[in-house]
Structure 1
Amino acid sequence: MKLLQGKTVLVTGGSTGIGRAAAIGAARHGADVAINYASSDDKALSCIAEIEALGQRGLAVKGDVALPETAADFVAKAVDAFGHVDVLVSNAGICPFHAFLDMPVETVDRTFRVNLHGAYYMVQAAANQMVRQGGGGAIVAVSSISALVGGEFQTHYTPTKAGVHSLMQSAAIALGKHGIRCNSVLPGTILTEINKDDLADDAKRHYMEERTPLGRLGMPDDLVGPIVFLASDMAAYVTGAALLVDGGMFVNLQ
């Protein structure tokens, strides 16, 4: 059963990690997929190759989500290629781990601009296109368990993920009258490029695994099912919701 048959899905940060898994997963469910990516042309092209190998159309658009014009450009190019936008997966994010007391201003600013401002601009641009074309749509934002808990070396990151979660709640209210559903997923510790250096420490990785009731850390593919569900008509009456995808870590943080 292909849950996204005939839909066009846009994914930010789509060349690696959760974004890449979501893009390929959407194609597996029958969607044409446009990905935004920041830097790696080779990884973006290989993602598109996987999408096309599944019999779907793919498009890669390079751009920095921290810039408002990137969102307008991404949506416009997706519409030019596919004719419409049905789903946005707002996923692009960074987490440069750093201590709080000497956190560089530029690190704080960049993290907020990519993670929160970038999500805002992308959601707004996609929503405007959905309103113009009619017929509703779905927006899924990748927040984090960090929206709900703190992190000593993530004082700049956790507020942005709380903001993304809050953005989906408010956007759900603002866009409901247009038939646009807005939800977030809150991943736990997922093995991606963001945390590969942090989790290279075997002792820390084992500690994180022990804190997870399911006994393992997450993989990007673990997010595909939840994202596809929220993007699909199976979630037709779900909006303003937040879905933890963390192997049970949050309920075990005591």
Structure 2
Amino acid sequence: MTVLLEGKSVLVTGASAGIGRAVAIGAARQGADVAINYHGDDAGADSAVAEIEALGRRAIAVKGDVAEPETATAFVAAAVAAFGRVDAFVNNAGICPFHAFLDMPVATFERTMRVNLHGAYFMVQAAANRMVEQGNGGVIVAVSSISALVGGENQTHYTPTKAGVHSLMQSTAIALGRHGIRCNSVLPGTILTDINKDDLADETKRRAMEARVPLGRLGQPDDLVGPVVFLLSDLARYVTGAALLVDGGMFVNLQ
């Protein structure tokens, strides 16, 4: 069977759970060695590494807060030490502490910005610098959100960060194209992860959200694996600066 990422070194942030974990394990299934970044879930990171290694691939977990710029350089350095190179990078780490707009705590706003947008910027920059140094291109995929395109009442701090991540991929596609580095984003719809589990614990709200999706269900982290792997692979060798909605059709449903 053909594997799409055979022999590649793939880095994924926020990969101890949710979308990041699914993508990391999915990349390993496609032949990649995988370095994962995580913030606090030691058990989740350890089990993700174990699952990747059980697939016959190499894996490391590097703990660090993406809000701190030095975490990016440390993560990339650890991956290079383990695997010798960085072929592909997936920026996934993000938070969404739901809160009303009018009394948004400054600390909540600033933390969301630092993790989601500042963290993406410095992580992408560190990975790109390594790829440029290696001299044979690379691939960067950022996990943005449908929230880059539409609003959310209790997400006024979150939606600007996801629009920023989408915009970052468009601009880096231009800045890095001359180095053979492709940059794209995926825009998930409502995916069942730890970020929204409390918000969707309300059964009425969850059913209403499901009713908005033409495919009839909310997403699972594994639903992002195929789209991300495609963008990381040579199947997408002429795709850069693009954004791929992965939302079950929610965005286009006006009813």
With the shorter chain as reference, the TM-score category is over 0.9
Alpha-carbon displacement from aligned partner over 1:36-65 (angstroms, at most 9, x marks no partner): 000010100000000000000000000000
1:233 corresponding residue in structure 2: 234
Q: 1:250 is paired with a residue of what secondary structure?
A: coil
Q: 1:251 is paired with a residue of what secondary structure?
A: coil
2:4 corresponding residue in structure 1: 3
1:69 corresponding residue in structure 2: 70
1:31 corresponding residue in structure 2: 32
Q: 1:217 is paired with a residue of what secondary structure?
A: coil
**TM-score, normalized by length of structure 1?**
1.00
Residue 132 of structure 1, CA deviation: 0.3
1:153 corresponding residue in structure 2: 154
Distance 1:134 1:219 in 2: 36
Distance 1:14 1:39 in 2: 11
Distance 1:55 1:205 in 2: 38
Distance 1:52 1:253 in 2: 44
The equivalences for 1:1-254 within 5 A come to: 1-254=2-255
Residue 253 of structure 1, CA deviation: 3.7
Distance 1:253 1:10 in 2: 37
Alpha-carbon displacement from aligned partner over 1:78-104 (angstroms, at most 9, x marks no partner): 000000000000000000000000000
**TM-score, normalized by length of structure 2?**
0.99
Distance 2:254 2:54 in 1: 41
What letter is aligned with 1:22? V
Distance 1:127 1:64 in 2: 19
Distance 1:232 1:138 in 2: 8
Gaps of at least 5 residues in structure 1 are none
**Aligned alpha-carbon RMSD (Å):** 0.5
Residue 192 of structure 1, CA deviation: 0.2
Distance 1:117 1:174 in 2: 18
Distance 1:190 1:64 in 2: 23
Aligned residues: 254
Residue 134 of structure 1, CA deviation: 1.1
Alpha-carbon displacement from aligned partner over 1:102-121 (angstroms, at most 9, x marks no partner): 00000000000000000000
What letter is aligned with 1:197? D
Distance 1:130 1:253 in 2: 42
What letter is aligned with 1:13? G
Distance 1:160 1:170 in 2: 15
